[in-house]
Amino acid sequence: MSFLSGKRILLGITAGIAAYKTASLVRLFIKCGAEVKVVMTPSAKDFITPLTLSTLSKNPVYSSFTSEEDENEVWNNHVELGLWADFFVIAPTTANTLAKMANGICDNLLMATYLSAKCPIYFAPAMDLDMYKHESTKTSIERLQEFGNILIPPGTGELASGLVGEGRMAEPEEIVEFIENSISSNLALNGITVLITAGPTYEAIDPVRFIGNHSSGKMGYAIAEAALKFGARVILVSGPTSESLSHKNLTIVDVMGAEEMYQNVHKYFGESDIAILSAAVADYRPKTVSKQKIKKQDSTFSIELVKTKDILASLGEIKKEKFLVGFALETENELYNAKKKLANKNLDLIVLNSLNDDGAGFGTLTNKVTFITAQGDVFEEGLKSKMEVAEDLIKLIVTSYVI
């Protein structure tokens, strides 16, 4: 998962030799989960074809106000293009286009779209060494930054002229990384580490059998994804689950039983700012675990169980300034029991699930929860997707937790 996942990116391409790199840039944006549209200056088509870019982006490529084949066709609306985008990336940005952007010269579709855009605008200069060093270029870049546009600095290396120096457009991978870092730096949980537990625990009876529960891990993984979207670094301690998630800011620690989860949660708790314990941890485990498979013999079979360590309560005792969130899955006296757990375990927030609600509980794609804060606020939510519940939870934490 990327910070660009689900975002709409408008890529502006101008007439520089570095335009050939934009094919890779489009593919990287799409790999990140973004939707991409391309607008080109007419001269940019001398360096890379619209057919290549439309094939890669799976969208039409725009380069003029009307169709070149049919001048009577409805115009390409630059205002709609500018408003469609979540991010506008102009790469490569030639010296000519820099000057136009800095001075509001609107003589092509790309410039009209630029002047209409309301979203963050990134520009990646690409030109020869002396052109990049020229005072007019410096002035254009400074003015664009004053406008709030974001410079993606060029690299240093061999240029098309054969000279070696600054002015080479950043590589596609560098552009994507720069934009992701820029986005994350402005997110609410940037610089915050969130520790999350997810899934069930399996308590071994013998090498074959275990005591477990029906938790799928879907809720915990959704919470991790939502926290990542808000810019957090996430440590996910996960019991056995088929769920998967990947992100450069995500560390997944796989565990099996309650004791292993307890040890790893305490291992990472010290470096976290927020802890959200959504895992369904076994309350009991077999007192002894057979080293060999237990054979079926008698008509009845008994297992002596002992209590597992209470992970949530143990964190409540040592949390100090950390923000601690627990989950309560109840079947009776739901609100009373959840409030009791909130107080007894020294939580800042508890999420109440009821198995009596249709569409809630284990294994479903939806959930119906009630958020209860330490201050006594109760927020009862309707049935939502687990992703929506996760985002609601993170938003509530952001508003409650003084970062």
Kindly indicate the confidence band of residue 363, based on its pLDDT and cuts at 50, 70 and 90: low
| Secondary structure, 3-state, 104-150 | CCCCCHHHHHHHHCCCCEEEEECCCHHHHHCHHHHHHHHHHHHCCCE
Give residue 360's pLDDT band: very low, low, confident or very high (50, 70, 90): low
What's the rounded Cα separation, in Å, for the pair 211 and 230? 36
| Count of positions (residues) in the chain | 403
pLDDT tens digit string along 208-261? 999 998 889 999 999 999 999 999 999 999 999 999 998 889 999 999 999 999
Closest C-alpha to 214, from 355, 44, 108: 355
Burial of 353 (0-12, 13-18, 19+ CB in 10 A): buried
Secondary structure of residue 253 in the 3-state scheme: strand
pLDDT, position 396: 93
217-230 residue pLDDT tens: 999 999 999 999 99
Angle between helices 95-103 and 135-146 (to 10 degrees): 50
Q: What is the mean pLDDT of the chain?
A: 91
The torsion angles phi and psi of 122, rounded to 5 degrees, stand at -110, 140
Cα–Cα distance, 160 to 19 (Å, whole number): 12
Strands (E), 7-76: 8-13, 35-40, 61-62
Measure the CA angle with vertex 327, ends 321 and 332; round to 5°: 135
CB contact at 8 A, 46 and 20: no
Burial of 164 (0-12, 13-18, 19+ CB in 10 A): exposed
Q: What was the pLDDT predicted at 361?
A: 65
| Domain 8-185 listed as CATH 3.40.50.1950 | yes
- Domain 193-400: CATH superfamily is CoaB-like (3.40.50.10300)
Give pLDDT, residue 65.
78
Question: pLDDT (tens digit, 9 = 90+) per residue, 98-115?
Answer: 999 999 999 999 999 999
- The model's confidence at residue 366, banded by pLDDT at 50, 70 and 90, is confident
Token reading at 331: 């079947």
pLDDT digits (tens, 9 = 90+) for 53-88: 999 999 999 988 766 555 556 567 788 888 899 999
Q: Residue 75: what pLDDT?
A: 66
Domain boundaries, the chain: 8-185, 193-400
Q: Are strands 384-385 and 366-367 parallel, antiparallel or unpaired?
A: antiparallel
Q: Is-contact 10 85, C-beta < 8 A?
A: yes
Cβ partners under 8 Å of residue 70, min gap 6: none
Rounded Cα distance between 293 and 290, Å, is 7
What span, in angstroms and rounded, lies between the C-alpha atoms of 168 and 155? 5
Catalytic positions, please?
Answer: 213
Flag whether pLDDT at 403 surpasses 80. Answer: no
Residue 402 has pLDDT above 60, yes or no: no
pLDDT digits (tens, 9 = 90+) for 289-348: 999 998 888 788 889 999 999 999 999 999 999 999 999 988 788 899 999 999 999 999
The helix-helix angle for 386-400 and 218-229 (nearest 10°) equals 50
333 and 284 Cβ atoms separated by less than 8 Å: no
For residue 185, pLDDT over 70 is answered with yes
Q: Give yes or no for residue 392 having a pLDDT over 70.
A: yes
C-beta of residue 328 within 8 angstroms of C-beta of residue 378: no
Bond prior to 92 in cis (omega within 30° of 0): yes
pLDDT over 80 (residue 163)? no
Q: Which two tokens stand for residue 372?
A: 């209860």
How many whole angstroms separate alpha carbon 11 and alpha carbon 25? 9
Asked whether 373 and 400 are in contact (CB, 8 A), the reply is yes
Residue type, 134: H
Q: How confident is the model at residue 157, as a pLDDT?
A: 76
Which tokens in the block code for residue 196? 């999350």
Under 8 Å between Cβ of 137 and 131: yes
What six digits make up the tokens of 13?
């391409």
Whether residue 399 is predicted with pLDDT greater than 90 in this model: the reply is: no
Q: Where are the alpha helices (DSSP H) in 164-279?
A: 172-185, 218-229, 258-269
Question: Exposed, middle or buried, 255 (CB in 10 Å: 0-12/13-18/19+)?
Answer: buried
Residue 299's pLDDT is 81
